[in-house]
Each structure stands twice: as structure tokens, then as C-alpha cells.
């Protein structure tokens, strides 16, 4: 019938080129943008099916390849809670993307619909929100996604335009909560909660006053564009956007952006000696990663880097401090706010950060690489803070915690104690729950929370940077014939296959003081990644190099 015809039609419009193999990796499908249309079309089908399965809840599609080169593109699906698509559907995503011909695709969908009990063909509805970044292949792939969505009877696609990845995730999350979900609602929430944070700054503290000037490297992507739109409304900050993506400013992610700065530890394109001593931030191409940096001398282009681990540490300190004030305050009001606070990291977290966080008595846990794992783990806590070293992360608050916080704030404000430290801490936490993106790591909201906390703590960039010293580390990529031949375990810290490899890694690592090393196949590139840490840069480099030899 109609449904069958539509699926056969769309599949024949987007034949799979021979030799193409897609895999739903760390962040969806990724490849050369020009080859992506069949996979994106099928992701459209998949997203529509997901929405039908979930009783018409809004599902999202983001077309982006994040920090990767401009010629690449990718597609990923956001679940109704704004997070990554449930991993249980990934095997079907892979199968669907690689279905060799229209008939195979149709049979595969029909079988899956049956197995999953998806009410296809009934009077179902489905809605899919779409967003894309600024890549030149974006519009072409958007069309492929729309055709895929429209191949499912009853599905309704809503193009939200060119957005940061976290904006689209936020819109999906908001829409399903029943709250306002447009771009201007997103901006209003950021601007208002940031202003609220500043209103709650302690008034009686003297000392260092944070410079208002902040230079932001937009990676020539969408983040800079959006920041330009709202910066005038960000009270108390004087933001200058470089690599803003305007005509002639440069190429997306090329010699700029969070990935470049974090890996190379040098200034991005467009920064020079005149910026020495100025606080700078860098976003990636779709604005879901954030790092900070500062040039300390004009004689070279090296930077002092604040990576995801240090952003996480700042957030953890701030939140813990507010909880401590609320719970240990011996003042008039006897109210407490029990909260399980969890820190989630990956093996790429600098060892010094883990030691620092554990030293504060915080609970630190590890997951494999990829936000889908970190986010899920963080949701197990009342307050979960997660970050990848590369700058992707956020803070998630449980509904239960938020409602307790709300009722505590009400209690405190109705008592004559509404000028108390306790009340202010509760209000700060409340503002933070509004400011920080609850769906996914978001460079814009993260940046505003960082700025508010630095002002709150009266810290300079240098104070923040010196929270602990990073252990020297080195990352290498190794090309191998088949990267899937390497299998890892223990949150990717150990190789289980080939079995001899882990022994070789252990043997090499034992030669270094504070040595730590692991390897894993990338989920987004056709490489095996090697990570090494040691007490000096020379040692970290040498450890990484010798382990890379064993991988080759
Ligand atoms: P892979 O290629 O699986 O290492 C990379 C990043 C992840 C994550 C994804 C998605 C590193 C080492 N890995 O994954 O953290 O950001 O891309 O973009 O940075
Ligand atoms: Zn990104």
C-alpha cells in the first residue's frame, strides 16, 4: 500500500553507492558530505519511526560533522529527552543505512516495525525537528532527511534552520516538556538566567575584578554567528567574536576552534600578540564544545589552556560550595537539601584533574568516550556533572532535586531570612539549572556559566588555570587496516583484543613515572587513537610513540 510505495520510492531515489559502509558511531553517521545523502535519508526514516514508536513525541535530527573538516558532514538523532538516540536502536540504524537496495530496505523496515510493535499505518503521527550547521552540504542533506521523514505516512518534519547542535537538542527537550521551544525562547532563557546569576553575585567581597573583555574564537562556525546575535544583551560582558564565520574570515574549523586549540595548544588563526593576557574562549564548529585559553607571552603562540576537565572542576567547586552553604549553615533556618553529586569523566580526562576532584572528596566515575555514555551516567545522580577533556559537557539536575530546590527556595524566601546566605545559594543553583543546557553539552550556555562563576569567585583566568597542573599528555592517531580488530574494556582503559597488545602497553607504561596509556578505535574517524600521559612532555611523547608502534 501507500507506506510500502513511499519507502520503495525514496530508497530508489537515494541508492547506496557500492563500497559505502556507514556505522552509527560515537556521534551518528559521519563521512565526506557529498556521499552522505543515502545515510541521511535513512536517518530521516529512522527518526520518523522513532517518533511513531514514542507516541508522536518530537525527535530531532542534527546535520553536522562538529569539529571535523568542512568537506565532512554527518547526521545524528536526538531522542525526545534531548539526549542521543537510545543505543538499543543503533544496530537497526546501522542495518538500515547499509541496506543494499530498495527491497531490502523495505523488508528491513517492515520486520523492525513488527519486532518493535511500531503502530505504522494506523492513525499515528510523528514529528521530527531538523537542524543543521553551516557546512555547504547542509542544505542538500537537509533535503535528503526531509524525503526520508516524509516516506513515513503521518510524519511531520519541522525545519528549524541553521542552529548550533545544542540548540536543536534543547528545542526537542523543551518541546516534549511542553514549554516554549523556539530559538528566541532559547536565547531568552540564556540571557535571563545569566543576568540572574550576576544579580546574585556577593556584594561584600573585595579583591580581583574580572575583566569584562572576552574574545571568542567561533571556529568559523555557527556558534560565533549566534553569539553575535545575543552578545549586546549579555550584561557585564564585552564579547569580541573572531573567526565568526563571516564571508572571508576563514574556513570552518581550519586552524581554529576548540578541537584545534585543545590538541595543538596554540592560538587559533586570527589571534596575535595584542591579545596577550586577555581571557579567550574557543568553540567548535557546531558549538557543543568549549575550551578557554590565554596567551601568556608575545614571543610565541603557545597558550595556557583550560580544557573540559578544568571547566568541570570549576562547575564542581561552585555547585559544591552552594550545597555546603545550604546544608552546613548553622543559621536561623534549619533546612537542608540532600543531593548526590556525581562527576563523570572518560579515560581522556587528565589524570591531574581526576586526582584533584577525588581530593575534594567528590565521587568520580568513568564511562567510554562519547556523550551518550557520559550523559546517561550523569542522569543517575541528583546533580551529575560530566565533561570530555575536549570541552563537551554539561550539568544535569534530576527533576526531584529541582523540585526540592524550588520548595526550599520558597521556604527560605517566605521566612524573614531572604537575605541569608542560604537563600542566595539556593537561588544561584536555581539560576544554574536554567542557564546550563539540560539536554546536551552547549558551548554558549557553558561559557555564560563559566563567566558567572569566575565573577562569583573573583577569580582571574590565571587563578582558574592554576587550580591544578595538567600532566603532560600526547594523543596520536594510527591508521590500521581494520580498527575494529581492537576491542577495549574497563571504560576503554584496557585492550581485551588482541590479547597481547595490553601486555605490551603495560610494559611500555611501566618505564615512565606517572605513566598512563590507552588505545581505542575512534568512533568518528578511521583511526586508532593512542593517548599517553607522563610526568614530562618528552616522556608522554615517547610513551605514545612506542605504543603507537605496537598498534601499527
Ligand atoms: P572518537 O572519534 O570516537 O574518539 C571524538 C571525540 C569524542 C567525541 C566525538 C564526537 C576525542 C578523543 N574523541 O570521538 O570525545 O567528542 O568525537 O564528536 O576527543
Ligand atoms: Zn561539536
| Minimum-distance ligand 1 atom for the alpha carbon of 348 | 12
Could you confirm whether 66 is annotated as catalytic? yes
Q: How far apart are CA 508 and CA 512, in angstroms?
A: 8
Which residues lie across from 66 on neighbouring strands?
Answer: none
For ligand 1, atom 10, which residue shows the shortest CA distance?
A: 27
CA of 308 to the centre of ligand 1 (A): 13
Please pick, among 66, 174, 420, 546, the residue that the annotation labels catalytic.
66
Quick one: pLDDT band at residue 524, thresholds 50, 70, 90?
confident
Q: What is the mean pLDDT of residues 38-63?
A: 98
Mean confidence (pLDDT) of the chain? 94
> What share of the chain in percent tops pLDDT 70?
98
For ligand 1, atom 5, which residue shows the shortest CA distance?
A: 524
> What sections of 437-498 are H helices per DSSP?
443-457, 461-465
Q: What is the mean pLDDT of residues 273-300?
A: 95
> What sections of 265-329 are H helices per DSSP?
308-328
CA of 194 to the centre of ligand 2 (A): 23
| Minimum-distance ligand 1 atom for the alpha carbon of 346 | 15
Q: Is the ipTM of this complex over 0.90?
A: yes
The DSSP H or E segment spanning 373 is helix 371-378
Q: How far apart are CA 365 and CA 1, in angstroms?
A: 51
Phi then psi dihedrals of residue 534, to 5 deg: -160, 180
> In the sheet that 280-283 helps form, which strands lie side by side, from edge to edge?
238-242, 213-217, 280-283, 290-295, 303-306
* Tens-digit pLDDT profile for residues 84-129: 999 999 999 999 999 999 999 999 999 999 999 999 877 788 999 9
Quick one: pLDDT band at residue 17, thresholds 50, 70, 90?
confident
Examine the pLDDT at 415 and tell me if it is beyond 80. no
Quick one: pLDDT band at residue 247, thresholds 50, 70, 90?
confident
For ligand 1, atom 18, which residue shows the shortest CA distance?
A: 27
Q: What is the mean pLDDT of residues 17-38?
A: 90
CA of 502 to the centre of ligand 1 (A): 22
Closest ligand, as measured to the CA of 76 = 1
CB atoms closer than 10 angstroms to residue 286? 33
Whether 525 is in the pocket of ligand 1, judged by its Cβ within 6 Å, is yes
Tell me the angle at which helices 183-199 and 443-457 cross, rounded to the nearest 10 degrees: 10
Q: What is the mean pLDDT of residues 386-404?
A: 97
Quick one: pLDDT band at residue 296, thresholds 50, 70, 90?
confident
**Residue 269, pLDDT score:** 96
| Minimum-distance ligand 1 atom for the alpha carbon of 475 | 12
CA of 516 to the centre of ligand 2 (A): 27
Examine the pLDDT at 334 and tell me if it is beyond 80. no
* Tens-digit pLDDT profile for residues 55-77: 999 999 999 999 999 999 999 99
**Residue 66, pLDDT score:** 96
Q: What is the mean pLDDT of residues 504-527?
A: 94
Angle, alpha carbons 162-168-172 (nearest 5°) = 145
| Minimum-distance ligand 1 atom for the alpha carbon of 259 | 19
**Residue 330, pLDDT score:** 55
Question: Between 124 and 496, whose confidence is greater?
Answer: 496
Whether 528 is in the pocket of ligand 1, judged by its Cβ within 6 Å, is no
Amino acid at each position: 500500500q501507500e507506506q510500502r510505495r513511499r519507502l520503495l520510492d525514496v530508497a530508489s531515489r537515494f541508492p547506496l553507492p557500492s563500497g559505502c559502509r556507514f556505522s552509527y558511531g560515537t556521534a551518528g553517521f559521519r563521512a565526506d558530505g557529498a556521499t552522505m545523502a543515502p545515510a541521511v535519508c535513512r536517518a530521516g526514516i529512522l527518526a520518523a519511526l522513532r517518533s511513531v514508536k514514542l507516541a508522536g513525541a518530537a525527535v530531532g535530527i542534527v546535520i553536522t560533522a562538529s569539529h571535523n573538516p568542512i568537506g565532512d558532514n554527518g547526521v545524528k538523532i536526538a531522542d525526545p529527552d534531548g539526549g542521543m538516540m537510545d543505543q538499543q536502536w543503533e544496530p537497526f540504524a546501522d542495518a538500515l543505512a547499509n541496506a543494499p537496495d530498495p527491497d531490502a530496505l523495505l523488508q528491513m523496515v517492515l520486520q523492525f516495525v513488527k519486532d518493535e510493535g511500531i503502530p505504522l499505518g494506523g492513525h499515528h503521527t510523528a514529528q521530527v525537528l531538523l537542524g543543521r550547521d553551516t557546512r555547504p552540504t547542509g542544505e542538500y542533506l537537509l533535503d535528503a532527511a526531509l524525503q526520508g521523514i516524509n516516506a513515513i505516512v503521518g510524519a511531520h518534519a519541522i525545519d528549524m534552520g541553521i542552529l548550533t547542535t545544542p540548540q536543536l537538542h534543547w528545542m526537542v527537550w523543551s518541546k516534549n516538556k511542553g514549554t516554549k521551544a523556539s530559538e528566541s525562547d532559547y536565547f531568552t532563557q540564556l540571557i535571563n538566567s545569566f543576568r540572574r546569576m550576576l544579580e546574585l553575585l556577593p556584594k561584600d567581597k573585595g579583591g580581583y575584578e574580572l575583566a569584562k573583555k572576552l574574545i571568542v574564537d567561533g571556529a568559523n562556525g555557527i556558534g560565533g554567528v549566534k553569539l553575535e546575535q545575543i552578545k549586546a544583551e549579555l550584561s557585564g560582558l564585552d564579547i569580541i567574536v573572531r573567526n565568526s564565520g563571516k564571508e572571508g574570515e576563514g574556513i570552518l574549523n581550519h586552524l581554529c576552534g576548540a578541537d584545534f586549540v585543545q590538541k595543538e595548544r596554540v592560538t587559533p588563526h586570527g589571534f596575535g600578540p595584542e591579545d596577550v593576557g586577555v581571557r579567550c574562549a574557543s568553540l567548535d564548529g557546531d558549538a557543543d564544545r568549549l575550551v578557554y585559553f590565554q596567551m601568556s607571552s608575545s614571543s610565541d603562540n603557545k597558550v595556557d589552556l583550560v580544557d573540559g576537565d578544568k571547566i568541570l572542576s570549576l562547575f564542581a567547586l561552585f555547585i559544591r560550595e552552594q550545597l555546603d552553604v545550604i546544608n552546613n549553615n548553622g543559621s536561623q533556618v534549619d533546612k537542608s537539601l540532600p543531593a548526590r553529586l556525581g562527576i563523570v569523566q572518560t579515560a581522556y580526562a587528565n589524570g591531574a584533574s581526576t586526582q584533584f576532584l577525588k581530593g575534594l572528596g567528590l565521587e568520580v566515575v568513568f564511562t567510554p568516550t562519547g556523550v551518550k555514555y557520559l550523559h546517561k551516567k550523569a542522569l543517575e545522580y541528583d546533580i551529575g556533572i560530566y565533561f570530555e577533556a575536549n570541552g563537551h559537557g554539561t550539568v544535569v539536575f534530576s527533576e526531584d532535586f529541582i523540585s526540592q530546590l524550588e520548595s526550599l527556595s520558597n521556604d527560605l524566601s517566605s521566612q524573614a531570612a531572604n537575605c541569608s546566605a542560604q537563600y542566595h545559594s539556593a537561588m544561584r543553583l536555581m539560576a544554574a539549572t536554567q542557564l546550563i543546557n539540560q539536554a546536551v553539552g552547549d558551548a554558549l550556555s557553558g561559557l555564560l556559566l563559566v563567566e558567572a562563576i569566575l565573577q562569583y569567585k573573583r577569580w582571574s583566568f590565571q587563578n582558574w588555570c592554576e587550580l591544578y597542573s595538567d600532566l603532560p599528555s600526547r594523543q596520536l592517531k594510527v591508521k590500521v587496516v581494520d580498527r575494529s580488530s581492537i576491542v577495549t574494556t574497563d571504560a576503554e582503559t584496557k585492550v581485551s583484543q588482541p590479547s597481547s597488545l595490553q601486555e605490551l602497553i603495560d610494559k611500555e607504561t611501566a618505564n615512565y613515572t606517572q605513566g598512563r596509556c590507552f588505545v581505542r578505535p575512534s568512533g568518528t574517524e578511521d583511526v586508532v587513537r593512542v593517548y599517553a600521559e607522563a610526568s614530562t612532555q618528552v616522556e608522554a611523547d615517547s610513551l605514545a610513540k612506542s605504543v603507537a608502534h605496537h598498534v601499527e
